[in-house]
Chain A
Amino acid sequence: MIDIFLQTVRDLVMDSGFLNVSWQALAMIGISFILIYLAIAKGFEPLLLLPIAFGMLLTNIPNTGMFHMEYFVGSAVDYGEVLHNGGLLDILYLGVKLGIFPPLIFLGIGAMTDFGPLIANPKSFLLGAAAQLGIFITYLGALMLGFTPEQAGAIGIIGGADGPTAILVAKSLAPELLGSIAVAAYSYMALVPLIQPPIMKALTTKKERAVVMAQLRPVSRTEKLMFPIMVTLIVSFLVPDAASLVGMLMLGNLMKESGVVDRLVKTAQNELMNIVVICLGTTVGATATAEYFLSPQTIKIIILGLIAFCIGTAGGVLFGKLMYLASGGKVNPLIGSAGVSAVPMAARVSQKVGAEENPANFLLMHAMGPNVAGVIGSAVAAGVLLSIYA
């Protein structure tokens, strides 16, 4: 009996994480602590960064069996293996791998978004398009640094400043980089108020920043109802690979604007969004294993992510300057920076920088147009990359 007891204890000790931990796993656990601190103490996109950080923590504890990256890297996933031998996070990760969670998050975002400023000033769409320049320039930069075209596409999408879009593209094109890309994307989204203002001030003059824009016209309910239907049809016909993201975004918006499905809207805005965010964040964080995260590639991704944000901001501002010239000084170029789809943070940054020049200048609603246009633009860009490489 004592032998059995000692054998059991020996087996428990041998299977414990303490005897099977590596320095790389400990380093990743340390990184997860830093991300948890940033999320809680500094408020860096906590809704997603906290689950991502905790997923990173869970996956790097040895012998838990909660997540197996090897099931999902490669062209085909063995779903039988996942269902029979997978852990909790393996099963939940299927929602990411099958492209379910990101569109559901877009459903919630659509249910919370007011496209009125965009409908009132449709030219804002162009600013949203110009800001996607960051995606494609970063794609080139990633190729120069030695990434494959698929990986470069997944890294470039960080420039869209859209978390669900970045996750959807990364899980298809470069699942081994998903953890790094998600961490970079959400960290930089939280740093938008620090990254954008210097670029905006460098590319504009005081006179341009002080431009007061005319009040937006009222938008009728009919327009708000027709808008999601038109956008879904046009974008899905043009870029079918963007249909899942744009379609769900517009479904959420149509539900909100219809006013006849309040229960569904409340669910989409709250319970559904929260459940999906928990599952998505935790499983995306779980992909950040030591083997894939602790590599020179991660540092390159972090640098490229910053470049993507900067170029996206610059692209939007420069196009805003073009519109300023074309309109005879009626468009404030600062709203171009809101074309990166970090809603509503980028719009608030435009308001803040504009108010520094002219305290009576209220750019927020004008900037919301390019801001939400950027969501559509980044989804279209993602569709293009997926159609080429997926």
Chain B
Amino acid sequence: MYNQVQILKMGEFGVPFSYSSVLVFFHHHSTEKRFVFMDWSTAWAVVITGMVVVFVALIVLVAVVSLFGAITSRITGKKPPKEEKKAAPAAPKAAPAAKSNAVNASTDDEDVAAIMGAISLIFAEEGNQNGFTLKSVSLKRNRRRLPLPVWAASGVRENVTAGLF
């Protein structure tokens, strides 16, 4: 493999006798020794070229993906802001039956279910790009004679708001 043709091919890289060239001594796998004149300027050129090409290719991808993301978010993010305000008060109302100051998560599964129902309602609306903070949970008397379960109330709320907007 490391025959005279190979050595000549190595010498064709750049300028074989440049000041940056280094004589490299190596063993063939059959222990036959060959001297190969290695042009380190070529080696560094390969390294720099490789990294530059990788970065250029991926920077182009960054630009294209970012641009496309901006275009699609501009197209899809057309919902009016008041829709988010209406959703915000609706969410706490959909989380009734919580204790007054704090939810005792270890003992009251219904309260946890109520909070989860409120959160699922918020994120069920498409295009909601902003996060929400649940600031308070308060007990609200249900005016219906036969109160709906929390999940059913959330489902009704979701269906009503989805139909309106």
Contacts and interface: CB of A to CB of B under 8 A. Distances in A.
A149 B43 contact: yes
Interface stretch (B64-72, B107-115, B133-141): B64-72
B54 A380 contact: yes
B25 A129 contact: no
Nearest to A233: B64
A146 B24 contact: yes
Nearest to A136: B47
Contacts, number: 122
A158 to B, nearest CB: 15
At the interface, is chain A mostly helix, strand, loop or mixed? Answer: helix
A90 B1 CA distance: 21
A74 B1 CA distance: 7
B59 to A, nearest CB: 7
B1 to A, nearest CB: 7
A367 interface: no
Contact of B60 (A238, A295, A377): A238
A135 B66 CA distance: 27
A219 to B, nearest CB: 8
A292 B30 CA distance: 10
Given A176-B29, A296-B27, A377-B58, A384 B43 contact: no
A238 B57 contact: yes
A217 B36 CA distance: 54
B74 to A, nearest CB: 11
Contact of B54 (A119, A381, A388): A381
Interface in A212-243: 215, 217-220, 222-223, 226-227, 230-231, 234-235, 238-239
A149 B47 CA distance: 11
B58 A292 contact: no
B155 interface: no
B129 interface: yes
Interface string B1-37: 1100010001001000000000011110100000010
B124 interface: no
B118 interface: no
Interface string B52-87: 011111111110111011001100100000000000
Interface in B90-112: none
Given A125-B59, A146-B26, A230-B61, A377 B43 contact: no
A14 interface: no
A143 interface: yes
A322 interface: no
B152 interface: no
A307 interface: no
Contact of B68 (A129, A133, A148, A226): A226
Contacts of A135: 50
Given A136-B51, A385-B50, A227 B65 contact: yes
Interface string A118-136: 1110110110110011011
Interface string A348-379: 00000000000000000000000001001100
Interface residues of B, number: 41
B38 A143 contact: yes
A388 B47 CA distance: 11
A98 interface: no
A33 to B, nearest CB: 24
Contacts of A132: 50-51, 54
A234 B60 contact: yes
Contacts of A218: 129
A125 B64 CA distance: 12
Nearest to A132: B54
A227 B72 CA distance: 12
Contacts of B131: 215
A346 B38 CA distance: 36
Contact of A295 (B10, B29, B57): B29
Contact of A376 (B44, B49, B58): B58
B60 A148 contact: no
A137 B29 CA distance: 24
Contacts of B54: 129, 132, 377, 380-381, 384
B68 A230 contact: yes
For the complex of A and B, the 9 pairs showing the least CB-CB separation, nearest first, are A146-B26, A125-B58, A122-B65, A136-B47, A129-B58, A122-B62, A384-B50, A125-B62, A122-B66
Interface of B: 1-2, 6, 10, 13, 24-27, 29, 36, 38, 40, 42-44, 46-47, 49-51, 53-62, 64-66, 68-69, 72-73, 76, 129, 131
20 contacts: A118-B65, A123-B62, A125-B61, A128-B58, A129-B55, A132-B54, A133-B51, A139-B47, A139-B50, A140-B47, A146-B26, A146-B27, A149-B43, A230-B61, A230-B65, A234-B61, A239-B57, A381-B50, A381-B54, A384-B49
Interface of A: 73-74, 118-120, 122-123, 125-126, 128-129, 132-133, 135-137, 139-140, 143-144, 146-149, 176, 215, 217-220, 222-223, 226-227, 230-231, 234-235, 238-239, 291-292, 295-297, 373, 376-377, 380-381, 384-385, 388
